[in-house]
């Protein structure tokens, strides 16, 4: 079985490379923007023709949330046009597409976790283009899994975890927003869940295609997340909670974006760790 991965240099792409080493029955083909530029339709068709993948995991995306407000065309090119190219390639080769989406498709006005049946209402350009990408997939193909996730971090790439460690080495105090509530997601946990879905699909008579939510369990603010990062890394720093209004950004963030994981746990029997436990695992591995 061949699994083609786009955006292999990103956080999830690198996590999949790590996790895939223990999966012998799958041949993974990892590509970056140089070997597979999803915005180039002919390039997509050529790569799919070469590898004839059974699955395609799309980790390629425009993820610069604030820059997207001033670069909507670039965000749309990758998150919508690029996704369309992949969906058409998947349709041509009977490939199942596993596409990563985001909690930012929601407006954050709820007070309880968002389920897959809640109506999206993105408040920023990034979230809008990710939603349009989802809709493009649903229009073009039937064999797909759209996985919405949130607050992804890992030991590689650019993310909140690494930013906090860097800032702590430069400053004696930090201000962190405490009124945006969500759930951190360890990229390695997400990678393992995706491989579980692939394995479940190949052994199922009727695969449960559709939209799913995945993050680690529990809820916290960015302030809580930062506090736990410093605690586990034994870093002493003055941490000040501040409201979003004190830290304005070009893109509006959801105030509440906790995801309900009931559907993915039921459909695939996936066990999900708490965000604290998965963070501790990363810290222990990272600090070896």
**pLDDT for residue 63 is more than 70:** yes
Mean pLDDT of the chain: 96
**pLDDT, position 169:** 93
Residues that are catalytic: 126
Q: Which pLDDT score, from 0 to 100, does residue 288 have? A: 67
Whether 287 has a pLDDT exceeding 80, the answer reads: no
Over the stretch 88-121, which tens digit does the pLDDT of each residue have? 999 999 999 999 999 999 999 999 999 999 999 9
User: What phi and psi, each to the nearest 5 degrees, are found at residue 2?
Assistant: -110, 130
pLDDT of the residue at 242: 97
CB atoms within 10 A of CB 119: 8
Percentage, residues of the chain above pLDDT 90: 94
pLDDT bin (cut points 50, 70, 90) of residue 158 is: confident
Confidence at residue 179, expressed as pLDDT on a 0 to 100 scale: 96
The angle, 0 to 180 degrees and rounded to 10, between the axes of the packed helices 160-170 and 222-232 is 60
Q: Which two tokens stand for residue 40?
A: 């180039």
Range 265-276 average pLDDT: 96
The pTM is what?
Answer: 0.96
What structural domains does the chain harbor?
2-158+183-217+257-274 (3.40.50.720)
Q: How many CB atoms lie under 10 A from the CB of residue 81?
A: 19
Q: Is the pLDDT of residue 255 over 90?
A: yes
What is the arithmetic mean of pLDDT over 127-141? Answer: 98
Q: Would you state the pLDDT for residue 285?
A: 86
The yes-or-no verdict on residue 83 having pLDDT over 80 is yes
Q: Write out pLDDT tens, residues 14-55.
A: 999 999 988 888 999 999 999 999 999 999 999 999 999 999
Q: Contact 39/65 with Cβ under 8 angstroms?
A: no
pLDDT of residue 24: 86
């Amino acid at each position: 079985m061949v699994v083609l991965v786009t955006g292999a240099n990103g956080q999830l792409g690198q996590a999949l490379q790590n996790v895939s080493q223990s999966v012998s029955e799958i041949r993974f083909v990892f590509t970056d923007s140089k070997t597979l530029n999803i915005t180039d339709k002919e390039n997509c068709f050529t790569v799919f023709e070469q590898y004839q993948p059974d699955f395609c995991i799309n980790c390629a995306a425009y993820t610069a949330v604030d820059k997207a407000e001033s670069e909507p065309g670039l965000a749309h090119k990758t998150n919508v046009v690029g996704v369309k190219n992949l969906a058409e390639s998947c349709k041509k080769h009977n490939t199942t597409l596993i596409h990563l989406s985001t909690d930012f498709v929601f407006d954050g006005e709820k007070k309880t976790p968002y389920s897959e049946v809640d109506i999206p209402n993105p408040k920023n350009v990034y979230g809008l283009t990710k939603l349009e990408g989802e809709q493009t997939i649903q229009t073009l193909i039937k064999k797909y899994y759209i996985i919405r996730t949130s607050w992804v971090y890992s030991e590689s790439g650019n993310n909140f975890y690494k930013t906090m460690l860097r800032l702590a080495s430069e400053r004696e105090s930090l201000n962190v927003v405490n009124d945006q509530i969500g759930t951190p997601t360890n990229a390695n946990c997400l990678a393992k869940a995706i491989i579980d879905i692939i394995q479940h699909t190949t052994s199922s008579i009727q695969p449960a295609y559709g939209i799913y939510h995945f993050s680690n369990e529990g809820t916290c603010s960015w302030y809580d997340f930062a506090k736990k990062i410093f605690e586990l890394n034994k870093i002493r720093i003055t941490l000040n909670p501040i409201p979003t209004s004190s830290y304005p950004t070009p893109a509006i963030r959801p105030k509440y974006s906790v995801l309900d994981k009931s559907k993915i746990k039921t459909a695939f029997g996936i066990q999900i760790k708490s965000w604290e436990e998965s963070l501790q695992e990363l810290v222990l591995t990272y600090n070896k």
